[in-house]
Structure 1
């Protein structure tokens, strides 16, 4: 009895369920396929990371004595899709059994149903989709904070008996400091491409020259060993200050104190439990303060698990919602970075160079602009999915659709994350390098975020005014005279029409 064990590019974990009971004579199938590289035009560094990590993982399996049938993208016989490559593998190996771990994306799950495979649970997560669905059942609101508390209790992380360590669940109010001018974040560890990565880089450049992003400098880890080294570097050099400055932005310093391990986590080189346990250990040993460790663990144990649960609970209908009826096309500057708004130019430029931007750049700069400008959710979501090395639909779609764009009408967020230029000025040094002034509300020197913010509230008043968390800005709006409102709408229209 032989088994064909399928491992996808985001399942590069030695202990994954599809490999766990491997027997002599079984074959592991791994596939690089054009369809997955092009259903959106993924960043060149993202493609390089995944394909190189896959090839390294296959070599590690072979070194452990496993038989690996590896289909390279540049194999002339490669048919270009998962389903047809599975069919070819079945013809080659005549397996009596096919095993695969459940995928991370709805569209791949639909493909998988036609493979004749046993689909196993992906138990690398703290919570299964069934666990989340049970938690959500009967609740009027699906707020992450309450799910997070249950995950703390279930995992035992940062708990003292039944109570949270430090006496409170969330230290977010301590984690909103801008970066002082005299604080210099540490130089971040990057990894030189080896021969395998160099070969993949050449292939990506040759096959996908028109895809978004710079291919070099490429510095991502592509093996578990290097991913663990990157984790250690974050824990020792960055975690102590991560909490204080996790919302800060600084021109010329894209990584700051962030972990930059999410690409490794999302393709399986490291696992969420080992990451959280390392962070908790740093607190227990006195290396990092509780506000930093709790904030970091909340991103993984709370937010990451929550968005995955919400994705599988609500798909596929979730992706089709557009509560604010936003339809404006994505502006060209999302691809080029060429805009006079310095915060957007910096955030998009960082993304183009590194396939990375941290969560505040994503939510409160590029996401905030997309929300205020009424950009089409589908176009914005396709952009987020392709530009970031850590983006897979299960994690990208809810974050963009629900948090950044409020396109789900409040399923995820209790209010739209809309902000004027004052927020960006407070949390960054971008505005001091910009031709626009965040202190000016209208006119040619005004930061566009200022009038776009009020125009957003005016356009969506019927939908948002009854939201309790929007009461304050709508009270302020009610005090504005008709002439000022008309000028806000006029200047917003002129700006948006030029996009």
Structure 2
């Protein structure tokens, strides 16, 4: 009797554990484009198109390799609209009693599969370096779950950038070398632009018809949609972008959306590239003398450190993680996050880039859009759903801890020892955004003052009882206490006026 082998849109790897457990001669691979997955948040059209196109190509690859694949397109009249509905339909069609599934990366889908009236064998996702059990063992008994210590264990486990039991270069972390503002002379051409083939074009037509009202621009569409194209992008970036990636990884420019970033997270998170193999190829560039240690270590830390750590936190904390709101923030997400008018140039640039590319790099997400939402007191669940919707690399296992934990401090400090908040000075230092902004980053009060300057102090004061004893934040409060009393009063009043205007829907 055949079994159904579920392959989801972010599991497009021929090494997927469910496929490894299957019998190619009799089992049936089930893949489905369904409304539930395409619309549980209003996903960016580019994200939907990328996943559907990559799914279709992966299904064709499996068929070429000898698998029987039952594939449901979104516009199939028999489409049930959900993953579980498609499994039930295919179980009846093929007289299958059981399902083998690699564990999904979202609690809601795990729970939906577990509630099906079919025998389910859910197995671990072996594409990750740290299993749940390993992360739980690492976390047990620790007062603080700091990523740096986890990252060092992952270096030891993988052997990446290790000389025996010592880190290459004598240090684990070269991040202090990776905070340079960029000049406008960027020598990297950005990610490869892949022209739409027949499969992609068919998907683009479908997505345009079904999701044209979603936030985001569908065309031009340039993403890689199979593993060969994804490998081409990896090779292209290692050759041309990696050498300067480290120096400028935190920089932002008005007229350059990609700088030296790899744009590989789309492909790694969907399964088109193996994360360990990517890191090994990047390490080889260092061993060959092609790229410096600060660039290579910084990238590898993002993959085997931060990416693995985020997944560990998500599954360790459980299904209620996305509902957490330690700071009790309740404001609605301002319209500017959906392309509404704003005078803040940094926000306008980050959101416009997101709308056009379904991509923004980590500092744009953390220190611009995330920083503003945190300072303004936006409900973290609204922020979480926005990030999950608008970025093509966003799946809940990786997005939620980055937003709920790192960006919005809504988990109460599990991920970050202090909130990632800053005034406009940080954005001014790391970008050229402030030079062409309607607000003045040097102004601390008044109608032209940078909103980040006003909201920074407003945030600190409204949460003073919680943070003034934090050893990493004491200097901030001492600076506030040394200010003239009249100035302090003006800062808070100006911040309140700004927030009132924002809540009234004015263009800010």
TM-score scaled by length of structure 2: 0.97
Query: 1 CA distance for matches of 2:97 and 2:255?
Result: 55
Provide the residue aligned with 1:99 in structure 2. 100
Provide the residue aligned with 1:236 in structure 2. 239
1:67 aligns with 2:72: no
Greater Cα offset, 444-453 or 44-53: 444-453
Alignment of 1:81-120 (within 5 A): 81-115=82-116, 116-120=119-123
Provide the residue aligned with 1:76 in structure 2. 77
Aligned length, in residue pairs: 499
For the 8 Å contact 2:24–2:68, the answer to whether it is kept is no
1:272 aligns with 2:272: no
Any idea what SS the aligned residue of 2:241 has? helix
Greater Cα offset, 222-231 or 96-105: 96-105
1:479 aligns with 2:474: no
Greater Cα offset, 272-281 or 21-30: 21-30
1:157 to 155, 160, 164: 160
Query: 2 CA distance for matches of 1:183 and 1:212?
Result: 29
Instruction: Spell out, residue by residue over 1:332-387, the C-alpha distance to the aligned partner (whole angstroms, 9 max, x if none).
Output: 01001521000000000000000000000000000000010010001010000000
Provide the residue aligned with 1:210 in structure 2. 213
Provide the residue aligned with 2:229 in structure 1. 226
Provide the residue aligned with 1:5 in structure 2. 5
1:344 aligns with 2:347: yes
Any idea what SS the aligned residue of 1:255 has? coil
Any idea what SS the aligned residue of 1:442 has? coil
Query: 2 CA distance for matches of 1:49 and 1:196?
Result: 11
Provide the residue aligned with 1:445 in structure 2. 448
Query: 1 CA distance for matches of 2:432 and 2:189?
Result: 18
2:174 to 159, 171, 174: 171
Provide the residue aligned with 2:506 in structure 1. none
Over 3 Å counting, the alpha-carbon distance change for 1:183 and 1:62 in structure 2 is closer
Provide the residue aligned with 2:505 in structure 1. none
1:317 aligns with 2:316: no
Deviation at 1:183, TM superposition (A): 4.0
Deviation at 1:435, TM superposition (A): 1.1
For the 8 Å contact 1:337–1:346, the answer to whether it is kept is no
Provide the residue aligned with 2:52 in structure 1. 51
Deviation at 1:85, TM superposition (A): 1.1
Deviation at 1:5, TM superposition (A): 0.8
Provide the residue aligned with 1:416 in structure 2. 419
For the 8 Å contact 2:24–2:66, the answer to whether it is kept is no
Query: 2 CA distance for matches of 1:119 and 1:258?
Result: 35
Any idea what SS the aligned residue of 2:250 has? coil
1:361 aligns with 2:370: no
Over 3 Å counting, the alpha-carbon distance change for 1:78 and 1:183 in structure 2 is closer
Where in structure 2 are there 5+ consecutive unaligned residues?
Answer: 503-508
For the 8 Å contact 1:240–1:289, the answer to whether it is kept is yes
Deviation at 1:96, TM superposition (A): 4.4
Any idea what SS the aligned residue of 2:465 has? helix
